[in-house]
A and B are shown apart, each in its own frame.
Chain A
Amino acid sequence: MTLRLGLGVFGMQSVPQRPDHHVQLYRDLLDDAELAEGLGFDSIWLSEHHFWFDGYCPADIAVAGAILGRTKRLGVGTAVMLLPMHSVQKVADDAATISRLGEGRLTLGVALGYRDAEFDGFGVRRRDRGKLMDSMLPSLAQSCNSCDPPIPVYVGVATAIAAQRAARLGLPLFADSTMNVAELREMLDAYNAAAAEAGVRPPATHALQRDVFVTDDRERDWEMLLPELRYMRRQYGGWSFPQEPAETVQAYLQRLEADIEAKLKNLIMGDAAEVAARLREFEALGFGLIVCRSQFGNLPRENLHRAFEGLAAVCEEVSR
């Protein structure tokens, strides 16, 4: 089986270090989708968050509709939709229509979500998210499976518990970008054990998200990337473990920084051959689709396109 490479994830954020207007950001995204199709990528992936100052994209299926309209071959996926906050009926009905109009090119990645403010905005108790996922996921999977062609559903995971939930339904995983090889291996073991216990045949492959930057000048690009990576990791870190009421800003930043440093180490950076070799390691674990994120924050267009072109060379390399 050929390793497929997707491009993403895109959040269309108007970041403080380069605050483009959203009209421009969405125009750029549609241009990038066309470029990705031309460069031979398998798919493009969109991320979802709500009520954040940089305007992180809150409505993936609407964006997917636009991309499917602009392109002819490229797949479009959500990575990931925060299912417990949504009406599962709405998601299923929206996806069915857009998949049909998009001629079967839509894929849904769904996950729990974790940011309190988002759950609170929609009137959902964050602590109910597991139970909600347990009730929504089978119904969404069934609905997607009844479409013609069926809509693939991946389950976003960063823990063994979440992987076991997906395993019981035989749904493939969409593994978080911050997990290292040992963690991924452990999670896949938990997945396979749960699938066996439930008498479910596991899917042939899973999907994985990775931060990847293809470059012919590591030092030059690292200097450019670092502020953007820090912004992105600080934001996600801030959502995962927010500042405690009694904690000073200084103490909080120190706590965040430790997490950022650890996660920066997961970035795969190098020339096309080096990156291809690293991605092959994940393929060997059982990941047949790798969604490569090269857009961190809001990189200058020329740098981003150079990285996309480099990734396209990786696409060729891994398909040999």
Chain B
Amino acid sequence: MRLGLGPIPLQGATRQALEALAATAVASSFDAVWVGESRADGVGGGLASAAMLGQLVPIRVGAAIDAGLYHPLYLAEDIAIADLTSQGRIEVLLRFGTPASSRYEAPTEQSWFEEQLQVFAAALSGAHIHWSGKHLRVPARIEANQPAPERLALNPRPAQPAVPIWVESSERWMDDLARRFGFGVSGRLGGGVKVPPPTGRWPGMLLCPPDVEPKALLDAAGDGAGYFLIGAQTPHEVVTAGRRLAGALRMPDFPEWINA
């Protein structure tokens, strides 16, 4: 089982507040601290903020990103650089079909997201890309730009051989799409929702409220592993969540009396 703090909303966040929460996460035995952008509200920079966090804490850092709004190669480049500056500690959660799509005038068709992931996954793999689809052509091979190479590659590549990436799935097709490209699947705790089955080596992820009890997480995980992001928003909530959850998730039969 893994325990992450966040995603901490970046709306109105200050460095001081972010640093305080992140430092408390370290001191409370969280495995990672996450931030979340909200481009529908004009709040971007999730990966750059995670890169900043990477300089403030020694644990892994994550970014929940509104994806499918701009060219997927930019997203791949941002991930590569955030991973390099954090010496290979980046994790990413992609959210498709958010209200930001209209603000960015981006398509919302399933085929658009599919092509986005296709190009994005190829870029992160280090492949020399040549893609021609319904929405994207990479390289575009525009007559007026020639001569230009027939293929391109993401360079530099991330520090990690495979950056851990999850897709937040609210519909079956998102789940299928994530698995097809080898990304983990994420859901939200509540209403009997179980941890999504693992994809390869990535456990399913669940976004959880700050007051969640260990039993709810263990029930959701069943016999498998789970990655739980806890939405604590104050240092006090972080400390209490860490005390309540960290030990209980790491070993069965956690002795509750230890906290008494």
Contacts and interface: CB of A to CB of B under 8 A. Distances in A.
Contacts of A30: 55, 85
A14 B155 CA distance: 10
A40 interface: no
A87 B69 contact: yes
A228 B85 CA distance: 24
Given A27-B87, A59-B77, A93-B44, A101 B144 contact: no
A123 B136 contact: yes
A124 B152 CA distance: 15
A134 interface: no
B52 interface: yes
A98 B49 CA distance: 7
A185 interface: no
Q: Which 3 A-B pairs have the closest CB atoms?
A: A93-B44, A69-B55, A65-B48
Interface string B105-146: 000000000000000000000000000000011111110111
Interface residues on chain B, size class: 35 or more
Interface size class of A (residues with CB under 8 A): 35 or more
B77 to A, nearest CB: 4
A30 B69 CA distance: 30
A63 interface: yes
With most chain B CB atoms within 10 A of its CB, the pick from A69, A100, A102, A117 is A69
A62 B85 contact: yes
A119 interface: yes
Given A97-B45, A126-B145, A58 B152 contact: no
A61 B37 CA distance: 15
B1 interface: no
Interface in A91-120: 92-98, 100-103, 116-117, 119-120
Interface in A40-57: 50-55, 57
Contacts of A69: 51-56
B107 to A, nearest CB: 13
Interface in B38-76: 39, 42-56, 69-71, 73-74
Which of A86, A103, A117, A120 counts the most chain B CB atoms within 10 A?
A120
A121 B139 contact: yes
Counting chain A CB atoms within 10 Å of each CB, the highest count among B42, B44, B147 belongs to: B44
B45 A93 contact: yes
Contacts of B157: 22
B60 to A, nearest CB: 15
Most A CB contacts (10 A, CB to CB) among B15, B18, B155 go to: B155
A23 B84 contact: yes
Nearest to B159: A23
Interface in B215-252: none
Contacts of B80: 58-59
